[in-house]
C-alpha cells in the first residue's frame, strides 16, 4: 500500500513541473493581433470641387464669329461628343474641352456648376468623386453623386441619332419657367430629345452645348441640362 501511495505522489510532482506557457497546438486560434501590411491605395487625379456659377463680369468670353452656325466644325464637335459619351471615352472628351477655361457642367438649369479642365475631363467617366449638383426640383433634396451616376445617364438619353440638333438657340418642349442661357457671350448648340407619347412628351430633355473658339476651332466650354419641371 505504501508503495502505491509513493508512486501516486511522484506522478503528482512530475505533473506539476509541466510548463503552462507552452504554445497552443497548430489548430488553435491565435489571439495575437495580425501584423499585416496593407497595400498602398491607388491614386487617381483629383476631381475638382464644386464652384459657384460663373459671373460673366468676372469671366469674359471671346467674341464668336457671326457665321458660327455655318461652320461644320460645330456639328463635328457634337458628333465627337456623342461618340465620347456612348463609348465613355475620356481621352476623346478631353480633346474637345476648351484648354483655356475647361468645361462647365450644370445638371440643373439653376443648379451648381462643376468645372472640369482638360485633365479632369480625361477621367470623368471613371471618377467616383461625390459632387454636389444642387437641389432637385422634384424632391427638394440635395443631389450628390459622381458624374457617372448623376449626369451621364441624362447625356446618354439625349445624345442619340434620333435627337434634334439646333444651332444658336435652346430647343425645348413645354416648360413652366423662363428659359435662360447663362453664357450670353458664348455660342451654343441644342441637342434635344422630344420625349415620348407615353408621358405626354413631358419627358423631353435638352443639353445646351456651349462652344468657345480656341486655337482657331470650336471647343467644348459648357453643358447645361434643361427638362420639364412641375
- Per-residue pLDDT of 11-54, as tens digits, reads 444 444 433 333 333 333 333 333 333 233 333 333 343 333 32
pLDDT of 138 reads 82
Q: What is the pLDDT of residue 131?
A: 96
pTM: 0.71
Cell 412628351 identifies what position? 201
The answer on pLDDT for 178 being more than 80 is yes
pLDDT of 137 reads 86
51 or 70: which leads in pLDDT? 70
| Percentage of the chain modeled with pLDDT above 90 | 67
Q: Is the pLDDT of residue 177 over 70?
A: yes
Cell reading at 26 = 497548430
Q: Which domains does the chain have, with CATH numbers?
A: 70-227 (3.10.450)
Going by C-beta distance under 8 Å and a sequence separation of 6 or more, which residues neighbour residue 190?
164, 165, 166, 167, 169, 170, 171, 172, 206, 207, 208, 209
Mean pLDDT over residues 177-192, rounded? 94
Least confident span in 15-24, 26-35, 67-76, 118-127: 26-35
Position 37 scores a pLDDT of 31
Strands 103-106, 217-227: pairing is: parallel
Amino acid at each position: 500500500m505504501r508503495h502505491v501511495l509513493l508512486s501516486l505522489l511522484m506522478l503528482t510532482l512530475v505533473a506539476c513541473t509541466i510548463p503552462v506557457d507552452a504554445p497552443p497546438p497548430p489548430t488553435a486560434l491565435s489571439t495575437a493581433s495580425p501584423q499585416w501590411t496593407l497595400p498602398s491605395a491607388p491614386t487617381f487625379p483629383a476631381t475638382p470641387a464644386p464652384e459657384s456659377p460663373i459671373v460673366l463680369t468676372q469671366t469674359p468670353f471671346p467674341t464668336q464669329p457671326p457665321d458660327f452656325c455655318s461652320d461644320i466644325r460645330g456639328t463635328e464637335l457634337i458628333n465627337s461628343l456623342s461618340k465620347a459619351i456612348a463609348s465613355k471615352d475620356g481621352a476623346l472628351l478631353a480633346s474637345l474641352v476648351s484648354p483655356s477655361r475647361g468645361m462647365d457642367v450644370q445638371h440643373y438649369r439653376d443648379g451648381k456648376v462643376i468645372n472640369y479642365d482638360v485633365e479632369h475631363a480625361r477621367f470623368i467617366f471613371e471618377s467616383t468623386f461625390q459632387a454636389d449638383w444642387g437641389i432637385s426640383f422634384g424632391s427638394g433634396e440635395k443631389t450628390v453623386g459622381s458624374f457617372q451616376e448623376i449626369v451621364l445617364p441624362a447625356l446618354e438619353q439625349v445624345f442619340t441619332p434620333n435627337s434634334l440638333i439646333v444651332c444658336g438657340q435652346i430647343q425645348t418642349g413645354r416648360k413652366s419657367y423662363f428659359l435662360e442661357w447663362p453664357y450670353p457671350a458664348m455660342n451654343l448648340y441644342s441637342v434635344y430629345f422630344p420625349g415620348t407619347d407615353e408621358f405626354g412628351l413631358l419627358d423631353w430633355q435638352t443639353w445646351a452645348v456651349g462652344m468657345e473658339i480656341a486655337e482657331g476651332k470650336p471647343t467644348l466650354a459648357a453643358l447645361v441640362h434643361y427638362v420639364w419641371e412641375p
